[in-house]
Structure 1
Amino acid sequence: MTDARAPGSRLLDYRGAVALVVANTIGTGVFTTSGFALADLGSPERVLLAWLLGGIYALAGVAIYADLAMRFPRSGGEYEFLRQTLHPALGTVAGWISLVAGFSSPIAAAALGAQLYIARAFSLELALPWIATALTLVLGLMHAFAPRAGVRFQNAAVLIKIVAILIFIGFGAVHTGDGSFPEAPSEAAPFSILALGGALVWITYAYSGWNAAVYVTGEVEGGGGAVRRALYSGTLLVTALYLGVSAVILFSAPPSALSGVAESGAVAARAFGGPRAEQALSSLIALALLTSASSMLLSGPRVYAQMARDGALPAVFGRLQGEHPRMAVLAQTAICLVIISSAGLRSLLEFAGVSLSLSAGAVVVGWLRQEFSKRSRPRPLLLAAAVLFLVATMGIACAGVVLRPLSVAAAILLICFGLAAHYGAAMRKSKARSASDTQQSDQSWTF
């Protein structure tokens, strides 16, 4: 199906799509994950290796998603891809994973993380998540009622964020080079593949925004081609920034001060720059988390609107104000507010990391199915990327079963709920068609 809208009428251009990828990806993860990964792996060098592997994993996924975006240039992401390549039921499951784990949980995690760093920057004592609630509400209302203003805010904030991160990396590199950083302990725990897999649950979540542009393909000038370029450009930029930020964090304070700590970025800044550096970095991280939440409130509702138009969600989610799914944005905001009031940051990160890895792995399986069914010669580079992505996903899933069983159980329950939702909707449609056919048959016998 072609898009009849005139050029220039879509919400995003190529630069906006790159900004969406960067904003969606650089959020809670990079500033909170290194401390958790350090607790799993035991040494900064191993954590940096895990960040590099996470970037390669993300780029392998980009290769497959970019190809699918060229084939299926509609908004929807995993929902659209799985409907087209495997089965509509799996598309519905992916849509529900996007609703709960792909957007709602990460938005809530980003808002809670922003509150954590705002409180640290301004020495606030907060017993309730009222800052996270207020931030989510303001962003949701902006994207619902002033979507173009929301895009302008996001693009400007992303630019500020990238410049500030580069300054942080440069400042930290100077201190790393002068030998003032404390050194890691000489004896580290033995290397464990299982521990690496467990750390990659955190780290792949931190990279999980690499696919952000595919959720809004129908809203991007240039369609699938522009989305393809944006995925590669945004992910390469994010990988470079992640390695730089993580190196500064990991080598700025003793591992004992960082291990298992959510605010590892702020701890690192205080170690090499004192209270003012901690305050400045905490403000930067809060901005990064804010843009992450904003980008997901922009892209997520496009998935639900597409699902509603296909009959996989209630029709109210598909109502448009012009070209913008206002009701889906408001519903997304409401769900996030509920999650903020009922869940903690660490549990949200674990659940989202496991669920999104499984969903992305299914997309790659669907791509492989089409690749082998429609081509006599599969493309070797893309095939290698698909195999790498699937092997890594299986390893992460196995580590999750051992180390994060509750998160895996929650992901399985969500998959079951998505399947039940799909077949329940199919049964209702079948009954409605049967009733309509019966009514028409009765009328045909009436004289």
Structure 2
Amino acid sequence: MGASSEPAAEGRASGGERGRRKGKLLGFSGAVALVIANTIGTGVFTTSGFALADLGEPAFVMLAWLMGGVYAFAGVVIYSDLAAEFPESGGEYVFLRNTLHPALGSVAGWISLVAGFTTPIAVAALGAQLYLARAGGPGAAAPWVATLIVIGLGLLHASAPAKGVTFQNLAVLIKICAIVAFIAFGAPVAGAEFVAAPPPSFETFPLLAFAGSLVWISYAYSGWNAAVYVTGDIDGGGRTVERALYAGTLLVISLYLGVSAVILYGAPPGQIRGVAESGAFAALAIGGPRAEQALSALIAFALVTSASSMLLSGPRVYARMARDGVLPAVFGRLDGDYPRVAILAQATFSLIVVWGAGLRDLLEFAGVTLSLSAGAVVVGWLRHQMRGGRALDKLLELCAAIVFLSTTSGIMVSALIMRPASAIAAALLIGVGLLAYALGRTRANSANQRA
């Protein structure tokens, strides 16, 4: 879909549901639900325990969550501008292809394939299994429950995409209501502990560890850009995506700060420090075993909806890459308007990761790699605006770009020092993307010569 189609799309959308273009999978509310479902997953319920082990003070962890929200919002400002200019499905793949170089678009596409969707789907499924066990469900040592979750969601979105979206929207509404209830339930205890807590000593503020914690927290916020991957399937195109990114991200930031405060101040620090199930321990401390089981069931449900949203959006990127020759053509095959083969392939890739890696390692790898990819998009936006002589005309976007790139730089430096294995894995993935681009160019040149 080209930029010229945008005015017509907006005109047809103005008539409400009757004016919605035939075949579009999502409207504004569906796009907002996609952002929320993609974002609220494993991170907010697991990251605070890891961050507290590094930072030592709950107040420092809350500051990190706030900084993560500012970081995400800065990204929304830039991505919204790009979505309005390039209203096509594909996300970073489309943005970098148009603003920097097709080779970097290919790299971003491979990052989306491995770190943007495959790894987070596996993380969400593994986390759901972990919390289902705490809620009284099966507690298998092997990831069989996670496997069933991925298979079930993959079949749903591949065989009945419209029903998959309906499930998605309803599940997000239930999830938001349940999270608000959890915040309200824990607020009295957490508020009292916050008031009684001594002020933190900033003389010992661990700057490097703070930047390192942003690796996990940036991953927890990483779904803020979800709608840009399916722009071509959204009624109203880039303008609707822009509104959905702002609305969804602001709601997520509010919910994250509330949940994090309840977790950090509702449970004794010694019980949640370095623990993945920090949310469940907070519920146990506040309301006893029944509260722990109820919250664990909520978290498992939230993780299932997160995996569902990524199985909805990720395959659209692969289908676009396949049509451009970056991935095998079979991934671009459409059944109607839906990339059924890409959806089933996405589920298969995620199952491989489910059985092959641990939760903490996956969180670190995804956080580092996705921050790097988003940072490249912001660099591409700056270059694109400077070439067009428009950079100084967009002061809000320029300030957002500076904030985003400064934070990304801190994350990358801390990753190289504290998490070199994740940085090395990210570098290898970039190499795979460049190699795939080079091979695709070679095949295209050979085909042109034969023609």
Equivalent position of 2:386 in the other structure: 372
Residues 140/179 of structure 1: CA separation in 2 closer, same or farther (3 Å cut): same
Deviation at 1:133, TM superposition (A): 0.2
1:196 and 2:203 are equivalent in the alignment: no
Shift of 1:252: 1.1
1:298 paired with 2:308, answer no
Q: Which residue of 2 aligns with 1:88?
A: 102
Is the 8 Å Cα contact of residues 193 and 266 (structure 2) preserved in structure 1?
no
Task: Call closer, same or farther: CA 1:186–1:103 in 2, change over 3 Å.
Answer: closer
Which residue is equivalent to 2:14?
Answer: none
C-alpha separation in 2, matches of 1:115 and 1:242: 22
Report the 3-state secondary structure (helix = DSSP H, G, I; strand = E; otherwise coil) of the residue aligned with 2:204.
Answer: coil
- 1:183 is displaced (CA, Å) by 5.3
Is 1:65 the equivalent of 2:79? yes
Change in CA separation of 1:257 and 1:181 when aligned onto 2, cut-off 3 Å:
farther
Residue in structure 1 matched with residue 152 of structure 2 by the alignment: 138
Deviations 1:391-437 (CA, angstroms, capped at 9, x unpaired): 1101100000011100000000000010001001101111121122x
Could you tell me which of 287, 311, 321 is aligned with 2:301? 287
Q: Partners in 2 of 1:185 and 1:289 — Cα distance?
A: 34
- Residues 237-277 of structure 1: per-residue CA shift (max 9 Å, x gap): 00000000000000011111111100000000000000000
**Counterpart selection for 1:102 from 116, 124, 136:** 116
Verify: 1:406 aligned to 2:421, yes or no. yes
Return the letter of the residue paired with 1:390: L
1:426-445 → structure 2 map (5 Å cutoff):
426-436=441-451
Q: What's the CA shift for 1:176?
A: 2.7
1:244 counterpart letter in structure 2 = G
CA deviation after TM superposition for structure 1 residue 123, in Å: 5.8
CA distance in 1, matches of 2:307, 2:118: 9
The equivalent residue for 2:343 is 329
Instruction: Kindly state the Cα deviation for residue 294 of structure 1 after the two structures are TM-superposed.
Output: 0.3
Percent of residue pairs identical:
64
Q: What corresponds to 1:225 in structure 2?
A: 239
Matched residue, 1:361: 375
Distance 1:204 1:265 in 2: 18
Whole-Å Cα distance in 1 between the matches of residues 202 and 154 of structure 2? 45
Superposition TM-score, scaled by structure 2 size = 0.94
Q: Letter of the aligned partner of 1:208 in structure 2? A: S
TM-score, normalised to structure 1's length?
0.95
Q: Which residue of 1 aligns with 2:15?
A: none
The 5-angstrom pairing of residues 250-399 of structure 1 reads 250-376=264-390, 377-399=392-414
Amino acid at match of 2:425: A
Q: Aligned partners of 1:125 and 1:328: how far apart in 2? A: 31
Aligned CA-pair RMSD:
1.8
2:39 is aligned with 1:31 = no
Q: 1:185 to 1:129 in 2, by over 3 A?
A: farther
For 1:194 and 1:413, the matched residues in 2 are separated by 24
Cα shift at 1:9: 2.2
In structure 2, the CA distance between the partners of 1:332 and 1:189, relative to structure 1 (3 Å rule), is farther
Give the 3-state SS of the residue equivalent to 2:266 in structure 1.
coil
CA contact (8 A) 2:216 2:363 kept: yes
Does the aligned pair in 2 maintain the 1:37–1:199 contact within 8 Å?
yes
Aligned mates of 1:179, 1:205 — CA distance in 2: 28
CA distance in structure 1 between the aligned counterparts of 2:425 and 2:446, rounded to whole angstroms: 31
Equivalent residues, number? 436
Q: Which residue number corresponds to residue 125 of structure 1? A: 139
Q: CA deviation at 1:125?
A: 3.2
Instruction: Tell me: CA distance 1:36–1:300, structure 2 relative to 1, closer, same or farther (3 Å).
Output: same
**Alpha-carbon separation, structure 2, partners of 1:184 and 1:33:** 23
Contact 2:130 2:139 (C-alpha < 8 Å) held by counterparts: no
1:312-333: CA deviations, max 9, x gaps? 1100000001000000000000
CA positional deviation for 1:193: 1.0
Q: 297-306 or 116-125, which moves further after superposition?
A: 116-125
CA distance in 1 between partners of 2:429 and 2:93 (Å): 15
1:445 corresponds in structure 2 to none
1:260 aligned counterpart, secondary structure: coil
Which of 184, 189, 202 is the aligned partner of 1:175?
189
1:174 is displaced (CA, Å) by: 2.1
* 1:265-301 per-position Cα deviation (integer Å, ceiling 9, x unaligned): 0000000000000000000000110010000000000
* Rounded Cα–Cα distance in structure 2 between residues aligned with 1:49 and 1:178: 19
AA matched with 1:406: A
Distance 1:186 1:65, change over 3 A: closer
Which secondary structure does the structure 2 equivalent of 1:333 belong to?
A: helix
After TM superposition, give the deviation of residue 378 of structure 1 in Å. 3.6
Match of 2:259 in 1: 245
Instruction: Specify the SS of the correspondent of 1:251.
Output: helix
Aligned AA (1:138): G
Of residues 418, 421, 425 in structure 1, which corresponds to 2:436?
421
| Structure (1 or 2) with the larger CA radius of gyration | 1
Further displaced range: 257-266 or 176-185:
176-185
The Cα offsets for residues 54-95 of structure 1, whole Å up to 9 and x where unpaired, read as 000000000000000000000000000000000000000000
- Once residues 162 and 118 of structure 2 are traced to their aligned partners in structure 1, the CA distance between those partners, rounded to angstroms, is 22
**C-alpha contact (below 8 Å) 1:42/1:189 kept by paired residues:** no
Is the 8 Å Cα contact of residues 175 and 181 (structure 1) preserved in structure 2? no
8 A contact 1:270–1:278 mirrored in 2? yes
8 Å contact kept, 2:194–2:265: no
Distance in 1, Cα, partners of 2:105 & 2:431: 13
Contact 1:42–1:188 at 8 Å: present in 2 too? no
CA distance in structure 1 between the aligned counterparts of 2:229 and 2:302, rounded to whole angstroms: 20
Structure 2: tracts of 5 or more residues without a match: 10-19
